[in-house]
Amino acid sequence: MSESIENFLEKVYLFTKDKNRPIKTTELAKLLNIKPPAVTNMAKKLHKLGYVEYEPYIGIRLTEKGIKKAKVIIDKHNIIEAFLVECLGLEKEVAYREACKLEHAMSDRVFRRFKEFVEDCIKCKKS
């Protein structure tokens, strides 16, 4: 899955969770710093793939499949950020920016092992 699709799903998830309503294409375009027609095209593509429900003039909401994928992306970001801060000692702002880059490069398979490693590392550090 491409970085742009992952960012799309992540932003839709966070917005709809916070606001408890679909996100409008103009709102999402601002969050992603792209033009509204690009959001519409992506929404149509992801609708066909089963990740979002898209209704013109109403907005975009994730399906269960989309929610599941968004949660994995967010979990990757959080675990990578925790590793960079807790294990490597980077500042939170730097770790956040780096985690945004790295979350898209790591496969789900590698992430599962990485997550176990980071959780063990943090537990040992706190002991």
The 10s digit of each residue's pLDDT in 6-20 is 999 999 999 999 999
Question: What's 97's domain CATH number?
Answer: 1.10.60
CATH of the domain at 34: 1.10.10.10
Say if residue 47 is in the same domain as residue 8: yes
Give the count of domains, the chain.
2
**Alpha carbon distance 28, 9 (integer Å):** 10
Q: Of the candidates 17, 32, 62, which is a domain's last residue?
A: 62
Q: How far apart are the first and last CA of the chain?
A: 38
Residue 23 is part of which domain span? 3-62
Which residue(s) pair with 52 in the sheet? Answer: 62
Question: What's the pLDDT at 60?
Answer: 97
What is the C-alpha separation between 16 and 123, in angstroms, rounded? 33
Per-residue pLDDT band for 33 (boundaries 50, 70, 90) equals: very high
**pTM of the predicted model, to two decimals?**
0.87
Predicted confidence (pLDDT) per residue in 19-29, tens digit: 999 999 999 99
Instruction: Give pLDDT, residue 124.
Output: 82
- Asked if 43 and 22 sit in the same domain, the reply is yes
- Could you tell me if 23 and 42 lie in one domain? yes
Q: How far, in Å, CA of 8 to CA of 54, rounded?
A: 13
